[in-house]
Structure 1
Amino acid sequence: MRALVLVGGGFRGEAISLRAAALTYLTLFALVPLLAVLYSVIDLFTGEAQLHDRVQSYVNSQLGIGAGAAIAGALTAFTSKATVKTLGAIGFALLFVSVISLLWNIESAFNHIYAVRKPRSPVQRLLKYWTFLTLGPIFLSLSVYVSWTISRMQDTHGPHSHPNHSEVLHVLAALSSVAITYASLAFLYKVIPNARVRVRSALLAALIAGSAWEVAKFLFAWASGRMVQLHRIYGSVAVLPITLTWIYISWSIALIGCRLCYALDASLKPEPHPAIEAAAAREVFVTRVIVALAQLHRERGAPIRVQAVVRELGVTGRLAREGLAALAKAGLAVEAKHGGWLLSREPSRITLAEVRAAARATLRFPAQQADDITAAVQSCLARADGVAQAALGESLESFLRRFQALPVESAAPAPDPRPLGVGESARKPA
């Protein structure tokens, strides 16, 4: 249930549809050089023309959903021309840059979902991309080779083989193709984000996203075969919008799967601190949330998503959302229209007394580990408690007598507004 809440709650702030559209646009430019690199690596390591043709046929079948032989023929023709001899050194370099740009944006999209504050360095990224471009084609070749071997075994046995053997081989041939999808997605979810991802979460997210992709592939192929009006309007060019739509659907499913992987990771994490009912713990936690919100907004200048607060404080998403909800209820924070959170006014106009009052209206929050921010907050709250104890030390009768003897404007001393400390000195040590 926690995973479903995290998945549903993250779509607004992450703009998955917008990122899927951006990746579709980049894929359109990088697809041909990416396939050219893929086939070149396969030829370099295997040298098997039949395996090359099998891999090419498999890739064309996955990319050409709904477009049939038209997209397959176009991809084959384009990739055969994507060489240094044909394009020249500058043209080939530009195509290679488009591949790097696609991989760079894929990693950025995944890191955004995981709220990664510090991405990999450019050198680390390039080394990882080089690994993808060399090991990826080899892995794909092995997978296609296994599927091809099973198909050949099925053809060798023929109709005279035992019925059970034929059925088993048919099922294995179908599963081998689906297994490539599951393994590829699990690899992406585990390796691409610059964060610790559980293998269990990556496998489960890949299983769900891969199954959704296979179902979408079947439905899209069925629907595109009935788009008669589209072919009448665009003619032979109808292949382009069909292909772009399928690439967009594929990226949307992949990003939703990444979001699910993050949600599974977050839902499996135990509570880092015991949740207690003490008022002081609630006050410290809510103050920590608003301090983190102010600091992160000062650094980024944009609405802060729940995941960023989670990573900053080391708590669960549920607790972070409860803290933000407490601030919102008190009018100290607001949720942006397209996701993310902001302070409702400048930090200098928010007092700790207001934050404390917001915290006292909430329920359960965790005890905080001792660090600089926690110590600073507790010190401020201790001073406030001392003032409150002194003011409330007298009896009710004494208070009423004094109140009646003083002018109305001086009966209650004005509160001492203390600006919320969000300076760099209160930062949590790295």
Structure 2
Amino acid sequence: MQDKENDSKRFDEIQKTEEQSEEQQVEQNTKPFLKQAVVTAFHRLTSDNLTQVASSLTFTTVLAIVPLLAVILSLFTAFPIFKELQVELDHFLTTSLMPEAMSHNIMQYLNTFVEKARNMTAVGAIGLLITSILLMKTIDEVLNRIWRVKKQRPLSTRVLIYWAILSIGPFMLAASIWASSFITRAQLGIGVDLSFIQNLFATLFPMLLSFVSFSLLYYVVPNRTVYLRDAMIGGIIAAVLFELLKMGFAYYIAKFPSYTVIYGAFASIPLFLMWIYISWLIVLFGAIIASIVPQIRFGHIETKNKAGANFIQAVRILRTLAESQNKNPPGKSTQYLVKTMHGNATHTLHILEELNSLGYIVNTQGQRSERWVLAR
């Protein structure tokens, strides 16, 4: 009995010493955290093979973009209220998603492919639909990998999410296109005049739309607790980079037209492929930023674990939960454990998942409001 008490005291002393040294290290390293975050994000792009994932997503996007557009246009055709938005859709895609200099040729190709896709047999249509689902499945898997999620959602849940995206997405896009076209007509003096603030909003609307889309992507898709503010930080960074990408491509096309000499009539195709590839890199980079924001906030940038660190962290978690087991409410939230365990957020979340899979702890409140207690 006395030996156990001595071991407990010794563990307390070791834990206190480690926490003090870690707190001192956090205070010393507070200033370079932003720099470390950017460096960590670029390191994760390469160490997690996300550049190759972006290549895979580019290939899948090229295959899936035609059926996705066909689904959207077919829904517009099915609902008369959206018929007039088909022209606006072309305008929206050419002005908001790609530099205007290359977008017109690309949209001509895509419209031709979509018209042919409408004449396909049922088997071909199913094949194209499967391609679209594979794209969403790949996005789901890579975002969960970035957040270090090992346990995927049940297949039925994922299918429902993909179906919701295919069903609701076109209507959300239609609403965005309607708002964009309304603002554009107002800017041209057709129907209503806009104030300075409204004109500023019209200018920033494409970036705002990108920001909302990226933020929702980072918030909803990962099978892990993602705080909205973290998703929004990743979303705004991705949106700004996306707008800079459009400006950079437009500048390159205007100032360096030599690519047309090499590729001739097909010059838009390699540019389009490069555009998709860099766009996916930006999406993944924003996701990495969103995933490491908690580490910055809690003062622990992801680093390589020392030998035995996971075991010590697991013991700390179990002890903390044991001490709170009889309190009301019992257990501790994920945010509390990440903040107080003096380890980086990714490792702590990984240990929580491992302890859960081994049956030591259980999550009592679901993915968005996790609260952990000891299993009985």
Normalising by structure 1, report the TM-score. 0.61
- The CA deviation at 1:77 is 1.6
Please point out which of 107, 111, 116 is paired with 1:72.
Answer: 107
Give the equivalent residue in structure 2 for 1:30. 64
How big is each residue's C-alpha offset from its partner over 1:88-119, in whole Å with a ceiling of 9 and x where there is no partner?
A: 11111111010000000011110010000101
How big is each residue's C-alpha offset from its partner over 1:151-210, in whole Å with a ceiling of 9 and x where there is no partner?
A: 22233369xx98xx4544432321222221111111111111111111111112111110
Give the equivalent residue in structure 2 for 1:50. 84
Look up the equivalent residue of 2:75 and give its one-letter code. V
Give the equivalent residue in structure 1 for 2:303. none
Give the equivalent residue in structure 2 for 1:204. 233
Return the alpha-carbon distance in structure 2 between the equivalents of residues 46 and 172 of structure 1. Answer: 29
Secondary structure at 1:228 match in 2 = coil
Give the equivalent residue in structure 2 for 1:15. 49
Secondary structure at 1:115 match in 2 = coil
Give the equivalent residue in structure 2 for 1:343. none
Identify if the C-alpha distance between structure 1 residues 259 and 286 changes in structure 2 by more than 3 Å, giving closer, same or farther.
closer
Identify if the C-alpha distance between structure 1 residues 283 and 135 changes in structure 2 by more than 3 Å, giving closer, same or farther.
closer
How big is each residue's C-alpha offset from its partner over 1:302-335, in whole Å with a ceiling of 9 and x where there is no partner?
A: xxxxxxxxx9xx65799557xx9xxxxxxxxxxx
- The CA deviation at 1:56 is 2.6
* Preserved contact between residue 60 and residue 75 of structure 1 (Cα < 8 Å): no
Give the equivalent residue in structure 1 for 2:134. 101
- Aligned residues: CA RMSD: 3.5
- Is 1:268 the counterpart of 2:297? The answer is yes
- The CA deviation at 1:267 is 3.0
* Preserved contact between residue 63 and residue 243 of structure 1 (Cα < 8 Å): no
Look up the equivalent residue of 2:122 and give its one-letter code. A
- The CA deviation at 1:428 is 4.5
* Preserved contact between residue 63 and residue 247 of structure 1 (Cα < 8 Å): no
* Preserved contact between residue 234 and residue 290 of structure 2 (Cα < 8 Å): yes
Give the equivalent residue in structure 2 for 1:40. 74
Please point out which of 173, 188, 193 is paired with 2:217.
Answer: 188
- Is 1:229 the counterpart of 2:258? The answer is yes
* Preserved contact between residue 64 and residue 72 of structure 1 (Cα < 8 Å): no
Secondary structure at 2:115 match in 1 = helix
How big is each residue's C-alpha offset from its partner over 1:215-261, in whole Å with a ceiling of 9 and x where there is no partner?
A: 11111111023343321111111111100000011100010000011
- The CA deviation at 1:64 is 4.2
Secondary structure at 1:67 match in 2 = helix
Give the equivalent residue in structure 1 for 2:18. none
Normalising by structure 2, report the TM-score. 0.69
Give the equivalent residue in structure 1 for 2:15. none
Gaps of 5+ in 2: 1-31, 301-305, 316-333, 363-376
* Preserved contact between residue 96 and residue 206 of structure 2 (Cα < 8 Å): no
Deviates more, 1:234-243 or 1:149-158: 149-158
Please point out which of 179, 184, 204 is paired with 1:146.
Answer: 179
- Is 1:176 the counterpart of 2:209? The answer is no
Identify if the C-alpha distance between structure 1 residues 111 and 220 changes in structure 2 by more than 3 Å, giving closer, same or farther.
same
Return the alpha-carbon distance in structure 1 between the equivalents of residues 157 and 261 of structure 2. Answer: 49
Return the alpha-carbon distance in structure 1 between the equivalents of residues 341 and 256 of structure 2. Answer: 45
Return the alpha-carbon distance in structure 2 between the equivalents of residues 32 and 284 of structure 1. Answer: 51
Give the equivalent residue in structure 1 for 2:373. none
Secondary structure at 1:55 match in 2 = helix
Give the equivalent residue in structure 1 for 2:151. 118
Give the equivalent residue in structure 1 for 2:247. 218
- Is 1:259 the counterpart of 2:321? The answer is no
Aligned length: 296
Return the alpha-carbon distance in structure 2 between the equivalents of residues 45 and 257 of structure 1. Answer: 35
Identify if the C-alpha distance between structure 1 residues 190 and 125 changes in structure 2 by more than 3 Å, giving closer, same or farther.
same
Secondary structure at 2:102 match in 1 = coil
Secondary structure at 2:121 match in 1 = helix
* Preserved contact between residue 33 and residue 82 of structure 1 (Cα < 8 Å): yes
* Preserved contact between residue 16 and residue 256 of structure 1 (Cα < 8 Å): no
How big is each residue's C-alpha offset from its partner over 1:359-415, in whole Å with a ceiling of 9 and x where there is no partner?
A: xxxxxxxxx99xx99xxxxxxxxxxxxxxxxxxxxxxxxxxxxxxxxxxxxxxxxxx
Secondary structure at 1:183 match in 2 = helix
- The CA deviation at 1:6 is 4.4
Gaps of 5+ in 1: 272-281, 292-310, 325-367, 374-423
Return the alpha-carbon distance in structure 1 between the equivalents of residues 307 and 116 of structure 2. Answer: 66
